[in-house]
Amino acid sequence: MELKLYYLVFTFYWNISSAMRCYVCVPEETYEGIKLCENFDYGDQFLRECEHSNMCFKRETSLDLGNGMPTRSITRGCAAQTLSGDQEKVNGKWRHKDTIYDVYAEGCAEDPNNIDRPTRTVNCYCRGNLCNNSLRNQIGLIILLPIVFLIS
């Protein structure tokens, strides 16, 4: 019985950590077919695997139009953490290598380049699968804990 419990718990955590995924959306149409953030609903159509990143980001840009009507745009995605020119020598031949660099601190910060601009941009970076919606990850744990206590 105890072994089954360990398998259940292990399988749950294995599924969470099997691939880094983030929500991805943009404020306006692009040729890449990425969904618009104005329709963002935490649905599966906004999910993307992050092959070259271990962080997600959310960028919110706002502008006060002066007539009491503020406007804002949101971008979500995988944080850019690789350089395209990285190579390594393998068996005497140079090969392309994807190295993930940890260049962002977790949390939110205002873009320092916006000092003289009318817009205000806040960049948020987070680690973890679907960290754009921490509530969704917690729901799985809330459901799992009573099951573990019932089995034991």
Q: pLDDT tens track of the chain, all 152 residues?
A: 565 655 555 555 544 445 689 999 999 988 888 999 999 999 999 999 998 888 999 999 999 888 878 899 999 999 988 887 788 888 999 988 878 888 899 999 998 887 788 889 999 999 988 886 644 434 444 454 455 445 55
Q: Which domain holds residue 68?
A: 20-132
Does any domain span residue 2?
Answer: no
Residue 99 tokens read as 């190295």
Amino acid 33: pLDDT: 86
Distances (CA, A) of 110 to 62, 118, 119, 124: 11, 13, 11, 9
Does any domain span residue 91?
Answer: yes
Amino acid 140: pLDDT: 47
Does any domain span residue 37?
Answer: yes
Amino acid 79: pLDDT: 92
CA angle 66, 69, 72 (to 5 degrees): 105
| CA dist., res. 59 & res. 26, Å (int) | 10
Residue by residue, DSSP assigns 18-81 as SS-EEE-BBSS--TT-PPBGGG--S-GGGEEE-TT-SEEEEEEEEEE-SSS-EEEEEEEEE---
What global pTM score does this model have? Answer: 0.68
Does any domain span residue 1?
Answer: no
Structural domain count of the chain:
1
Does any domain span residue 51?
Answer: yes
Does any domain span residue 32?
Answer: yes
Amino acid 114: pLDDT: 75
